[in-house]
Amino acid sequence: MMLHLPAVLSKQQVAQCREVLDAAQWVDGNTNSSAQSAQATRNQQLPEGSTAARAIGDAIQDALGRNARFFSAALPLKVFPPLFNRYSRGDGVGTHVDNAMRQLRGTNFRIRSDLSATLFLAEPDTYDGGELCIEDTYGMHRAKLPAGDLVLYPASSPHRLSPVTRGVRVASFFWIESMVRDDGRRATLFQLDHDVQTLSAQRGLNDATVVSLTGIYHNLLRRWADA
């Protein structure tokens, strides 16, 4: 399941993040890449664990914690601290699949990457190219979203970034270990939760059908969740 989450950060929050990012020191993006993606990557990244990355990453995680739709879709158990990349003219990333496991350098913090996320931090009219292209069983999907919006997709999906031909593309990217590792089961729970919320708004929380469907949701979550 690929999902667009609008306005995870407000325009004011994006502006504050960009002020920090635009003043930061960037390094070759292959510093943090896997062997496969390093062969295909041309970009710059903030050093993992830098002061700027930690400050903006904390703000992003706070915003995610307040986003009910993100929680419903991802059912997050762990979120890898957000990383940041920048693509100038000619930069891009070839087709690759993200590593199944990610460990935070110098720590024991490790996650299974069930979901990948990209949070856009540059408006789409400020650069050409730079589309995130994600493949699944239904074909190719392309994402080039407004600043502050997030795209969430299975980390097992082959994906690439088309070369930037004008301007600068800035984004945050990170991974989520879900309580429910199977994408199909997560999609089922997400749809069921959405339907329960819609029905409860129409009929009220004490409606018998709402109560029954809520029970089904939680019983499925008990059956499928790792934690």
* CA quadruple 92, 99, 174, 197: dihedral, nearest 10: 120
Instruction: Give per-residue pLDDT as tens, 47-80.
Output: 988 999 999 999 999 999 999 999 999 999 999 9
Q: Could you tell me if 175 and 115 are in contact, meaning their C-beta atoms sit under 8 angstroms apart?
A: yes
DSSP of 170-191: EEEEEEEEESS--HHHHHHHHH
In this structure, CATH architecture of domain 183-224: Irregular (4.10)
| Predicted pLDDT at 149 | 98
Residues (pLDDT < 70) of the chain are 31-40
3-178 and 183-224, same CATH topology: no
Is 3-178 a domain of CATH 3.40.640.10?
Answer: no
pLDDT for 1:
87
Query: So what's the pLDDT on residue 40?
Result: 62
| Residue 136: predicted pLDDT | 87
pLDDT at position 30 is 72
Domain regions of the chain by residue span? 3-178, 183-224
